[in-house]
Amino acid sequence: MTDYTINPGDNAPADIELNTWPEGTLKLSELHGQWVIVYFYPKDNTSGCTTESCEFRDALPDFTAANAAIVGVSRDSVKSHAGFTEKQSLNFPLISDPDEHFCKAFDVLQIKKNYGKEYLGIERSTFIINPEGDIAFAWRKVRVKDHVKTVLTTLKELQE
Cα separation, 160 vs 146, in Å, equals: 22
Q: Which of 38, 49, 128, 151 is catalytic?
A: 49
The residues facing 125 across adjacent strands are 40
Listing from the earlier edge strand, what are the strands of the sheet with 68-74?
24-26, 18-21, 94-96, 68-74, 35-40, 125-129, 135-139
3-state secondary structure of 29: helix
Q: Does 54 participate in catalysis according to the annotation?
A: no
Q: Which residues are catalytic?
A: 49
